[in-house]
Copies of this chain bind each other. A is one copy, B any other.
Amino acid sequence: MKNAVSYKLIKEDSKSKARRGRVTTPHGTIETPVFMPVGTQATVKAMRPEQISEMGAEIILSNTYHLYLRPGHEIIKEAGGLHKFMNWNGSILTDSGGFQVFSLGQLRKITEEGAMFRSHIDGSKHLLSPEKSIEIQNALGSDIMMAFDECIPYDADKIYIKDSLERTSRWLKRCKDYHKDTENQSIFGIMQGGMHKDLRYQSAMEIVEMDLPGYAIGGLSVGEPKEVMIEVLDYCVDYLPKDKARYLMGVGSPDYLFEGVERGVDMFDCVLPTRIARHGLAMTSHGRVNIKNAKFKRDFTPLDDNCDCYTCRNYSKAYLRHLLKSDEMLSAMLLSNHNLHFLINMMKNIRKSIEEDRFLEYKREFYDNYGKF
């Protein structure tokens, strides 16, 4: 079987599990470890696509659930696929829609067939199954498609977790069987198993057997304490093959990115940088800054004196504060730009530090400057 997507390990850090690698897709290469900006509804909020590629992003994520409901995957297919529809020429990863559906709580019901749910937009009833998820992702034309899995609460009952992970494995098989055009799109599997070592091991063995180009560690960053997530990550990654990409979903704060990289994760995504930007929060080399703060009223220096992004090169904190207080869209535009640039640049530095075999030193320096996370 020819795979559209492949992973190449370039270098391993000698003092941690951090690794430098490269993912290749039909739309180019992605240097890893990588942070992927999220474009939920076929747009990374408040950004023009070329502004994201100019800051070095090689891949973005988009959401199957949202695009299925609006505008509908068939319209995007008719448009020539998601890349063309949204004017993004880099790689795209789409999630399976599972996470959003499972987040609907009362509005969904899970069976062996899939998940019945009601739309958050108009209440209409839909079935999302492994086959349907891949059908939608095929229509979108993303480079990397995520398998349809069940994402359960981190404190679920162990018997339920085992049942669920085994169903997730059966669903993965169904995703793979349904997907035909393996030259243009690849599937990543998702490991489940909650916070249980034996179940994580079982899940890993079942999904790795499918021989996919990448695997995600699912069911983390769903509300569990940070120590728990780190403990689970510590052993999970060891169950995954070295020659395949590893993806930790929904993670985007600087500390979680460092902890993930240290444990051998290659790919991350999160709405965090753009979401907090819309509330006036900036990530800087000196920690998080709330631009609403009155102390910035007459602060004519840039957001971050160590940053060379468009926002920091051209605007002052006083101006950004004025825009936010005045409910001007340019505020979200400039802060989103800064936060995305911050994370993408941080990952670039992380990659360099692995190449130079000084990842842990870089991590310590970064933490010292950042202060409280």
A333 surroundings in chain B (CB, below 8 A)? 46, 48, 329, 333
Q: Report A55 CB to chain B, min CB distance, Å.
A: 14
A9 at the interface (CB under 8 A from B): no
A360 at the interface (CB under 8 A from B): no
A322 at the interface (CB under 8 A from B): yes
CA distance A298 to B326 in the complex (A): 36
A41 surroundings in chain B (CB, below 8 A)? 322-323, 326, 328
A210 at the interface (CB under 8 A from B): no
A80 surroundings in chain B (CB, below 8 A)? 300
A319 at the interface (CB under 8 A from B): yes
B79/A48 in contact, CB under 8 A: no
A325 surroundings in chain B (CB, below 8 A)? 70-71
CA distance A297 to B78 in the complex (A): 11
CA distance A43 to B321 in the complex (A): 13
A316 surroundings in chain B (CB, below 8 A)? 79, 85
A47 at the interface (CB under 8 A from B): yes
Q: A71-B297, A297-B71, A314-B87 are in contact. Are A79 and B319 (CB under 8 A)?
A: yes
A43 surroundings in chain B (CB, below 8 A)? 323, 328, 330
Contacting B at CB under 8 A, from A290-339, are 297-298, 300, 310, 314-316, 318-319, 321-323, 325-326, 328-330, 332-333
B300/A78 in contact, CB under 8 A: yes
CA distance A39 to B88 in the complex (A): 30
A87 surroundings in chain B (CB, below 8 A)? 314-315, 319
A328 surroundings in chain B (CB, below 8 A)? 41, 43, 45
Identify which of A75, A318, A322 gathers the most chain B CB atoms within 10 Å of its CB: A322
A86 at the interface (CB under 8 A from B): yes
Residue of B nearest to A313 (CB): B87
Q: Report A6 CB to chain B, min CB distance, Å.
A: 30
A240 at the interface (CB under 8 A from B): no
Q: Report A278 CB to chain B, min CB distance, Å.
A: 9
B47/A330 in contact, CB under 8 A: yes
**Binary flags per residue of A217-257, CB closer than 8 Å to B gives 1, else 0:** 00000000000000000000000000000000000000000
A66 surroundings in chain B (CB, below 8 A)? 326
A281 surroundings in chain B (CB, below 8 A)? none
CA distance A134 to B51 in the complex (A): 39
A23 surroundings in chain B (CB, below 8 A)? none
The 10 closest A-B CB pairs, nearest first, are A71-B322, A41-B326, A43-B330, A46-B329, A87-B314, A43-B328, A79-B300, A85-B319, A329-B329, A41-B328
Chain A interface residues toward B at CB < 8 A? 41-43, 45-48, 66, 70-71, 75, 78-80, 85-87, 297-298, 300, 310, 314-316, 318-319, 321-323, 325-326, 328-330, 332-333
